[in-house]
Structure 1
Amino acid sequence: MEPEPGPAEPGGAVLLTGPRLAIREFHHTPADVDALYAVFGDPEAARYLPFEPRDRETCADQIELYVEQAEADPRTGYRLAVTVLADDEPAYATPIGTAVLDLGDHRSATLGYALRRDTWGRGYASEITSVLCEFAFRTLGLHRLAARADPANAASVRVLTKAGFQLEGRIRHDLQLRGTWYDSLLFSLLEPEWGGPDGERG
């Protein structure tokens, strides 16, 4: 099943679907706040994220910012909710994680994702990455996607490599948390290198 991009006009609501997942705008509702807190508030789920675990109030504030970003014109990025496709209406199903495209200059963006811990190991991160690449290159017309990964996060490194991202290098002391400096691996994927949702390149 090929991802189906939703509208991408500035301020327009986005709904993307893959074989098993839907990626939609966040709503400022108790259910969405609880869902984001289940990811950002879990120290294990947030282990490789570039911030400390967040409390529920902070997650509520984050969603308020996501909603404002979705309504901005021009839109500077996409902070989206990931849900599992089921009988529920995907635009309102309970999120299991987040998907991110932060837009930059020169038709570029930074890609990211985070998932609730009990959904790990099901291939969802690879599907999110595939859907975001489809949206970025085919719908938004971007030329370059970048992604950062903690060198210890072998799962994310595998996801990015499988999607065709190339390792550009290691950024030393890229992030400081809890008094400790952490390196990052920088990956990128260019539109001419992308093989589409089926991953066929060349």
Structure 2
Amino acid sequence: MVPVRLTGPRLAVREYHHTEEDVDALHALFGDPEVTRHLPFGPSDREDCADQIELYLEEAMAEERDTYRLAVTRLADAEEPADATPIGQASLTLDGHRAAQLGCVLARACWGRGYAGETVGLLCDFAFGALGLHRLTARVAVDNAASVKVLTGLGFRLEERPRHDAAGDGARSGSFHYALRADRWPGAGVRVPAAG
């Protein structure tokens, strides 16, 4: 495994560690009903989060890695970003055709600070640079205006209008599907939109 470590102006994106701190941080994230409101699953308990990190580490060790689920940390939280407590999760799921689905979720206390834009920008740089991908997609719940603003601020374009997708509570919810091609990404630095 070649560990992923991405660094922006305020944030670092790194591999998860199977430590109490990372499990607690993931549980603080995925155990919060307000955070999982726009995700395709409901709140998770701590044991599920520990199992998830184990899965993330197995995915990272795959001979041909196609899934990146990474911890988002603040640079100011530790001398070494690898030791900082996660405040969110960033993900890329490759589809085998030089494309991937992108995801980003942050702890509620971190909303509205531009962290989502910085995180998605780091993922775009990684996807279109090191991974050599051609296209990224993102699915956003129709009532998640903050995520729409982040994506459109970074150049993502709406490709598909609302449709019925599974929501965290088992109900159906509409979602927007956004996409960005590599030739539309500037590739130099991370652009951080105002909201996020």
Work out whether the TM-score is over 0.5: yes
Give the counterpart of 1:96 among 87, 112, 124: 87
C-alpha separation in 1, matches of 2:177 and 2:170: 22
Match of 1:110 in 2: 101
CA contact (8 A) 2:39 2:167 kept: no
Match of 1:157 in 2: 148
Give the counterpart of 1:184 among 138, 163, 175: 175
Give the counterpart of 1:71 among 45, 57, 61: 61
TM-score by length of 2: 0.93
CA contact (8 A) 2:8 2:190 kept: no
Give the counterpart of 2:17 among 24, 27, 48: 27
Question: How far is 1:178 from its partner?
Answer: 2.9
Matches within 5 A, 1:1-202: 11-86=1-76, 87-196=78-187, 197=189, 199=191
Match of 2:194 in 1: none
Deviations for 1:109-129, whole angstroms, at most 9, x for unmatched residues?
000011111111100000001
Q: Which amino acid aligns with 1:70?
A: A
How well do the aligned residues superpose, as a CA RMSD in angstroms? Answer: 1.2
TM-score by length of 1: 0.90
Decide whether aligned partners of structure 1 residues 162 and 143 sit closer, same or farther in structure 2, where only a CA change above 3 A counts: same
Q: Which amino acid aligns with 1:18?
A: G
Q: Which amino acid aligns with 1:88?
A: E
Q: Secondary structure at the match of 1:91?
A: helix
Structure 2 residues without counterparts, runs of 5 or longer: 192-196
Percent of matched pairs sharing the same residue: 59
Q: Secondary structure at the match of 1:45?
A: helix
More divergent stretch after superposition (154-163 vs 84-93): 84-93
Runs of 4+ in 1 over 6 A off after TM superposition: none
Structure 1 residues without counterparts, runs of 5 or longer: 1-10
C-alpha separation in 1, matches of 2:162 and 2:143: 14
Question: How far is 1:49 from its partner?
Answer: 0.9
